[in-house]
Each structure stands twice: as C-alpha cells, then as structure tokens.
C-alpha cells in the first residue's frame, strides 16, 4: 500500500484535516505542551524551519488568539516569528521570515520583532532531506540542530526552552555532550502521535526528535532549558539526561 493510502488511514492525519491543521505534526507539539507545559508565561516565540506552518498554527492558537480574545493590548500580545527557506502562507499573529537560520542577518531580523526582548521559547521540527545513508543523515540532522543551537544562544533568554529534532544513532553521545554544555536539563520524550511507519528505512536508526518525524522508527521530543548566570550569555553544565516516553 502506498504512503498516501497509509496517511489517509492515520487518525492524526484525519484529525489534522478536520481541525484545520496544515500537517499532522501539529499534534506532536500539542502533546509536548501537555506533558511539559512549555507555553506557560511565554510571550516571545521563534519557530525554526517552520514551513508548512503546523507548529506556527499551534503557537497562534495556543498563545496569540487566546490573548487577543482576552482583549490584551496590541503592544502586549505574544510575538511569534516563523522562519524557513521556503515561503509560508500567512497565519494570524505570526510574522514570517523567508531565509536561512544560519544567517546572522536573519537572527538580527528575528530579534528586531521582539523590541529588544529575547525569546522565551524556540521550537524546530526541521529535518534534512533523507538519503538513506544513515550515518550521513544522522550527521546532517546533527548539523541542523547545532545551527538551531547557534540561534538559541543568540536569542533565547535565560530559563527559556528549546524544542528540536535530532536523529539518535551511534554517535549521538557527542551531540548530547554538546547540548549539555548549554542546557542544564535535557529531556527526551516520544509524543503518542509520532508515526512508527517506514520501519524498513530506519531499522537501524533511533530518532530523538524534539518535534517528531514521520520517517523514523523511534521519535522523541527533546526539551532543553537554559540556565544563564550573571549578565553573560553562557550556560551551566548538567551531566544527567532524563528521558520520558508516551505510548
């Protein structure tokens, strides 16, 4: 049976269509929030690798639209910035930027929309095009998350949260070590909406996702919280890695 047919049988695919989400991945972010309460007291958010926009939709519906309905003054409404190399259709309450997240010019452009404030939350469900060469795919995904980490060190506030996707393979311990230099708490979790199809493609790959991917056997969510000190943009080290899964 083809991929399209399998998608149509998927409960989250159908729910996404019924509820107006651009992709089923919206439920992964919703379930991460249910378990980690990542939207609490959040007013400045960045969505990396945002297209087609399902996570930006979640941010709009969970943060911007409720504040708008409460009559929050325009200058105090949550600010959401979405960035991607691909163009993205508009979403209410979301500022879209087309560009490369590794560009410092784009980082400065993101900050310009926050009126001098740093981000409370950065999310990213991006993944490179898969080649089928597992070592190469793992390496490319690691480079993507490190690019997101570079953005986070420039625009994430002390105590903020970073949600990102990574592939978990034989060399993932190096990536964990790099992440734990910057984040005292690293949590891996698997949202129940994560799809376990395409087993033949990823039979030797465990995926640690912040978001969730549709191309892996195991998908996890990664939640990282910063803990800066003084006025410096540096972070304390925390050696332990905590894991949570939902089935």
The CATH number of whichever domain residue 106 belongs to comes to 3.40.50.150
- Structural domain including 162 reads 3-68+77-243
Contact 203, 169 (CB under 8 A): no
Q: Quick check: helix, strand or coil at residue 150?
A: helix
| Mean pLDDT, residues 8-24 taken together | 88
Q: CA-to-CA distance for 118 and 158, rounded, in angstroms?
A: 9
Strands 94-98 and 79-84: parallel
Question: Which one, of 244, 164, 169, lies nearest residue 203 by Cα?
Answer: 169
pLDDT tens per residue across span 72-102: 999 999 999 999 999 999 999 999 999 988 8
Active site residue 165: yes
* pTM listed for this prediction: 0.77
Contact 109, 97 (CB under 8 A): yes
pLDDT tens per residue across span 101-149: 888 899 899 999 998 899 999 998 887 777 878 778 778 877 888 888 8
Domain count, the chain: 1
pLDDT tens per residue across span 17-39: 999 999 998 998 999 899 888 99
Q: CA-to-CA distance for 113 and 76, rounded, in angstroms?
A: 13
pLDDT exceeds cutoff 50 at 3: yes
Q: CA-to-CA distance for 204 and 201, rounded, in angstroms?
A: 8
28, 79, 165, 190: the catalytic one is 165
| Mean pLDDT, residues 209-220 taken together | 30
């Amino acid at each position: 049976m083809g991929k399209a047919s399998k998608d149509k049988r998927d409960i989250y695919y159908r729910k996404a269509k019924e509820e107006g989400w651009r992709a089923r991945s919206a439920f992964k972010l919703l379930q991460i929030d249910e378990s980690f309460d990542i939207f609490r007291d959040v007013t400045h958010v960045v969505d990396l690798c945002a297209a087609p926009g399902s996570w930006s939709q979640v941010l709009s519906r969970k943060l911007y639209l409720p504040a708008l309905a409460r009559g929050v003054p325009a200058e105090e409404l949550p600010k959401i910035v979405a960035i991607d190399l691909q163009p993205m259709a508009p979403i209410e309450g979301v500022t879209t930027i087309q560009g490369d997240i590794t560009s410092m010019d784009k980082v400065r452009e993101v900050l310009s929309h926050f009126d001098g404030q740093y981000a409370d939350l950065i999310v990213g469900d991006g993944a490179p095009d898969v080649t089928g060469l597992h070592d190469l795919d793992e390496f490319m995904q690691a480079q993507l998350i490190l690019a997101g980490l570079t953005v986070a060190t420039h625009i994430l506030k002390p105590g903020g949260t970073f949600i990102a996707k990574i592939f978990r393979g034989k060399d993932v311990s190096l990536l964990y070590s790099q992440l734990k230099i910057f984040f005292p708490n690293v949590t891996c979790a698997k949202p129940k909406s994560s799809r376990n199809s395409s087993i033949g493609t990823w039979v030797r790959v465990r995926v640690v996702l912040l978001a969730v991917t549709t191309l892996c056997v195991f998908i996890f969510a990664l939640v990282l919280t910063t803990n800066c000190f003084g006025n410096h943009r540096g972070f304390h080290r925390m050696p332990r890695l905590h894991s949570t899964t939902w089935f």
